[in-house]
Structure 1
């Protein structure tokens, strides 16, 4: 059972340009799938989303970035509190998005605006119980379903940036794109990770920050290479 209570209140909340600063992540894992046309098992990527209290939708774990933690520590904390997962966090954000709260009961600031930093988190541990379990049920989804259930443009943008990072990671030099790629090894990656907190590790990366993709029908714009890798 998790002994770490969820943080409440906004006494330590960070603000910038009159926007509430938010940090979150897209938790992911590699899993086996038996839908290959040749009858062979392949590996696909799944992402974790959580339910919203009092609303009929799914979101990625995220929450306020507080003044006693780094933005990456905040992302790890939110993943633990809302989704009950720990893992390896990529230190470069997938992007920074500004969005407005849709309900007056959940205002991000006086004007309802948020500036959110999103990261990719490779899940290495799922807890049986977690601090906000009563308010947030978790669900693993394939990429296609995650796009369908992402009701906001910024969530789709974050997913697309996530897929591009994953595709780049899984493409060794001189590797033919039609060959199935093996997932990165958690054991091999751990020595490269810098311990951040009991919740996760931070993986250093030389990958460029992808920033915010333009708004569009993101699923239809996904490249053929990404579609091959992630099965949609």
Structure 2
């Protein structure tokens, strides 16, 4: 989205427009949002488990590219405007079968490194998520048992 574009103040919900891969896996787009000096990463509070996570969510059928979905998720969940700098590739599902649920089915994650250009004071999920900057070491601790998120963070060019 261009800086002059109007950003929606309501998050998308539901899975009606969700894209799925060849094995029925949900296609998820996300960002590793870095400060301009690459010293910190911005994490958001998970609505499901309360821990800290990277902004991510479903790639929908009306979005031309997975990058479009990643930037939309960064806006909806973290209230950030960012520039994608690197394609970090696809991260396969690594949760154990008992961690998969109807609300959190098997997924394939595509992450991008992004530079945060602006943090808006108001954003769609402000009422249910907080955001916080972390160093690499603290981000690893904060994300805990989320191997797909740790893998994306490991792939980025953040200063360690």
Whether these two folds match at TM > 0.5 is yes
**Deviation above 2 Å: which 4+ runs of structure 1?**
100-107
Distance of 1:139 and 1:53 partners within structure 2: 15
Distance of 1:56 and 1:130 partners within structure 2: 19
Match of 1:226 in 2: none
2:66 to 54, 63, 71: 71
SS in 2 for 1:11: coil
Match of 1:22 in 2: 28
Match of 1:11 in 2: 16
Higher Rg: 1
Bigger RCO (CA 8 Å, 6+ sep)? 2
Is residue 100–residue 106 contact of structure 2 (8 Å, CA) maintained in 1? no
Q: Following TM superposition, by how much is the alpha carbon of 1:4 offset from its aligned partner in structure 2, in angstroms?
A: 2.8
Distance of 1:26 and 1:118 partners within structure 2: 7
Q: Following TM superposition, by how much is the alpha carbon of 1:53 offset from its aligned partner in structure 2, in angstroms?
A: 1.3
Unmatched tracts of structure 2, length 5 or more = 1-6
Match of 2:76 in 1: 81
Q: Following TM superposition, by how much is the alpha carbon of 1:8 offset from its aligned partner in structure 2, in angstroms?
A: 1.0
Distance of 2:56 and 2:150 partners within structure 1: 15
Q: Whose helix proportion is higher, 1 or 2?
A: 1
Unmatched tracts of structure 1, length 5 or more = 32-43, 167-229
Aligned length: 148
Q: Following TM superposition, by how much is the alpha carbon of 1:93 offset from its aligned partner in structure 2, in angstroms?
A: 2.1
1:138 aligns with 2:131: yes
Q: Following TM superposition, by how much is the alpha carbon of 1:150 offset from its aligned partner in structure 2, in angstroms?
A: 2.1
Match of 2:4 in 1: none
SS in 2 for 1:15: coil
Output the aligned Cα RMSD.
1.9
- The TM-score, its normalising length taken from structure 2, stands at 0.84
- Kindly report which structure 2 residues correspond to 1:21-100, keeping only aligned pairs within 5 A, or say none: 21-30=27-36, 45-69=39-63, 70-90=65-85, 92-99=86-93, 100=95
